Amino acid sequence: MKKLIVWILLFAGTSLFAQQKFEKELRVPESEVPARALDFAESLCPDSRLKWYKETGLSSKSFEAKTKYQGKKYSVEFSLNGELEDVEVEVKSKELSNSLLKSIDDQFDVDFQKHRLKKIQIQYSGTEPDVLQFFSQSLGIDRLQINYEVVVSAKKGETFGFYEYLFSSRGRLLKKSEIILKMTDNIIY
Taking a C-beta distance cutoff of 8 angstroms, is the pair 108, 148 a contact? no
Per domain, the residue ranges of the chain are: 20-179
Distance of alpha carbon 131 from alpha carbon 88, whole angstroms: 11
Instruction: Indicate the average pLDDT of the chain.
Output: 88
Distance of alpha carbon 141 from alpha carbon 133, whole angstroms: 9
Handedness of CA 86, 92, 98, 101 (dihedral sign): positive
Distance of alpha carbon 22 from alpha carbon 125, whole angstroms: 21
In this prediction, residue 184 has a pLDDT band, given cuts at 50, 70 and 90, of low
Q: Exposed, middle or buried, 74 (CB in 10 Å: 0-12/13-18/19+)?
A: buried
Q: Look at residue 8 and tell me whether its pLDDT is greater than 60.
A: no
Amino acid 109: pLDDT = 95
- pLDDT tens, position by position, 15-71: 444 588 777 899 999 999 999 999 999 999 999 999 999 999 888 899 999 999 999
Who has greater pLDDT, 77 or 57? 77
CA nearest neighbour of 115 among 72, 150, 66: 150
Who has greater pLDDT, 180 or 67? 67
What's the whole-number mean pLDDT along residues 82-87?
A: 98
Q: Look at residue 6 and tell me whether its pLDDT is greater than 70.
A: no
Other CB atoms closer than 10 Å to residue 156's CB: what's the count?
14
Q: Look at residue 12 and tell me whether its pLDDT is greater than 90.
A: no
What's the whole-number mean pLDDT along residues 68-92?
A: 97
Amino acid 98: pLDDT = 96
Model's pTM, two decimal places? 0.84
SS3 (DSSP) at 9: helix
Amino acid 23: pLDDT = 79
Q: What's 20-179's CATH class?
A: alpha beta
CA nearest neighbour of 142 among 119, 124, 162: 124
- pLDDT tens, position by position, 99-148: 999 999 999 999 999 999 999 999 999 999 999 999 998 888 899 999 99
Amino acid 183: pLDDT = 57
Distance of alpha carbon 7 from alpha carbon 175, whole angstroms: 19
Using CA atoms, how far residue 140 sits from 77, 78, 131, 135, in Å, is 20, 21, 8, 9
Q: Look at residue 2 and tell me whether its pLDDT is greater than 90.
A: no
Amino acid 10: pLDDT = 37
Q: Exposed, middle or buried, 44 (CB in 10 Å: 0-12/13-18/19+)?
A: buried
Q: Look at residue 14 and tell me whether its pLDDT is greater than 90.
A: no
